[in-house]
């Protein structure tokens, strides 16, 4: 599984092309969600016939379920890809039709408000888990600006939910390819006591600021930059994972909340325990909800 030939870097490139995505968007507009969900099953089944699609899904699934016979592997890969497709449809549905419902437990909302009351901003550390963008829409109810750190690759044709909207974006986007990698924008947002949302489970090209942490029985590299920024800003960190519970339904889980000590600088050794804490929270959720952890590449280091 970890052979050099099989090792591929993560890419945001979409599986389908722009035209195929437009078909789904048009179907959503013209016929509503159910025909789009129906077509999705056929499309995912077709793509799942490709060995490369099953292999990419299998890196994580094999760690979660162990080595399975071919029919199980096919079924698990189909379920994972279908689940991912539903998330993409949900976020399009939210953007196109304005349909979506996000549940945030009252105590979690109180926790978030308490974190913001400290006045030093909150880092919402997300992952490629569930329907994070649909969940982010639920944050519109909070009276604080939301900044999303978002990198779009050249081959990524999936529209994000705020891109479906014709008006002004309801969130501020921070480009990690911008000046200083967007770090000063993130720091400024936290200093303004705003929310900064960022994925913590992917290493983007050229990011040397990573550490190896334990995850699903192996070592993976995860970025530590956001923890250094949180330390500098003395901001709270909330590991925010958003479970898809049904068509257009999302539930926000604050899987862990903590404050990174100040003045850690950019020392990998000092920041590693906090990255590990994030990885452990993500692992717990990925274990509980395996078909909501969207990992389609071999993220594990060779043992």
Please report whether residue 265 would count as binding another protein according to CB under 8 A: yes
CB nearer another protein, residue 98 or residue 178? 178
CB nearer another protein, residue 209 or residue 280? 209
Exactly one of 34, 46, 75, 180 binds another protein (CB under 8 A); that residue is 180
CB nearer another protein, residue 226 or residue 281? 226
Contact 127, 289 (CB under 8 A): no
Distance in angstroms (rounded) separating the CA atoms of residues 197 and 121: 11
Which x/- pattern, by CB under 8 A, does the window 140-179 give for another protein? Answer: ---------------------------------------x
Please report whether residue 229 would count as binding another protein according to CB under 8 A: yes
Distance in angstroms (rounded) separating the CA atoms of residues 235 and 118: 9
Exactly one of 85, 130, 138, 181 binds another protein (CB under 8 A); that residue is 181
**Site residues for another protein, window 17-46 (CB under 8 A)?**
none
Exactly one of 187, 197, 222, 235 binds another protein (CB under 8 A); that residue is 187
Backbone angles phi, psi at 187, to 5 degrees: -60, -45
Please report whether residue 193 would count as binding another protein according to CB under 8 A: no
Distance in angstroms (rounded) separating the CA atoms of residues 230 and 89: 33
Q: What is the nearest approach in angstroms of another protein to the Cβ of residue 273?
A: 18
Q: What is the nearest approach in angstroms of another protein to the Cβ of residue 212?
A: 18
CA proximity to 18, closest of 30, 26, 9, 10:
26
Distance in angstroms (rounded) separating the CA atoms of residues 98 and 296: 29
CB nearer another protein, residue 189 or residue 213? 189
Q: 168-198 as b/e, with b when 16 or more CB fall inside 10 Å? A: eeebebbebeeeebbbebbbebbeebbbbbb
CB nearer another protein, residue 144 or residue 266? 266
Residue 130, phi-psi category: left (phi > 0), alpha (psi -120 to 50), beta (remainder)? left
Residues at the interface with another protein (CB under 8 A): 179-185, 187-188, 191-192, 208-209, 225, 228-229, 232, 263, 265-267
């Amino acid at each position: 599984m970890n052979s050099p030939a099989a090792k591929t870097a993560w890419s945001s490139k979409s599986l389908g092309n722009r035209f195929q995505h437009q078909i789904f968007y048009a179907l959503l507009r013209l016929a509503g969600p159910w025909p789009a969900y129906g077509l999705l099953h056929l499309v995912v089944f077709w793509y799942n016939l490709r060995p490369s699609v099953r292999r990419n899904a299998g890196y994580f699934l094999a760690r979660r379920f162990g080595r399975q016979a071919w029919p199980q592997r096919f079924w698990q890969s189909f379920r994972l890809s279908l689940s991912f497709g539903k998330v993409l449809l949900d976020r399009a549905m939210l953007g196109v039709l304005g349909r979506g419902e996000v549940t945030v437990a009252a105590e979690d909302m109180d926790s978030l408000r308490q974190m913001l009351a400290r006045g030093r901003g909150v880092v919402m550390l997300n992952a490629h888990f569930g329907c994070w963008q649909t969940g982010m829409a639920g944050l519109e109810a909070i009276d604080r600006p939301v900044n999303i750190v978002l990198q779009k690759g050249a081959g990524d044709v999936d529209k994000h939910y705020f891109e479906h909207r014709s008006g002004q974006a309801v969130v501020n986007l921070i480009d990690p390819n911008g000046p200083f990698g967007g770090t000063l924008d993130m720091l400024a947002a936290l200093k303004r006591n705003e929310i900064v949302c960022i994925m913590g489970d992917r290493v983007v090209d050229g990011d040397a600021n990573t550490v190896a942490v334990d995850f699903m029985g192996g070592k993976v590299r995860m970025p530590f930059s956001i923890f250094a920024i949180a330390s500098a800003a003395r901001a709270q960190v909330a590991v925010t994972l958003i479970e898809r519970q049904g068509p257009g339904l999302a539930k926000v889980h604050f899987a862990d909340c903590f404050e990174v000590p100040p003045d850690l600088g950019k020392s990998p050794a000092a920041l590693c325990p906090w990255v590990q804490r994030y990885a452990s929270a993500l692992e717990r959720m990925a274990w509980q909800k395996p078909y909501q952890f969207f990992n389609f590449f071999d993220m594990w280091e060779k043992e």
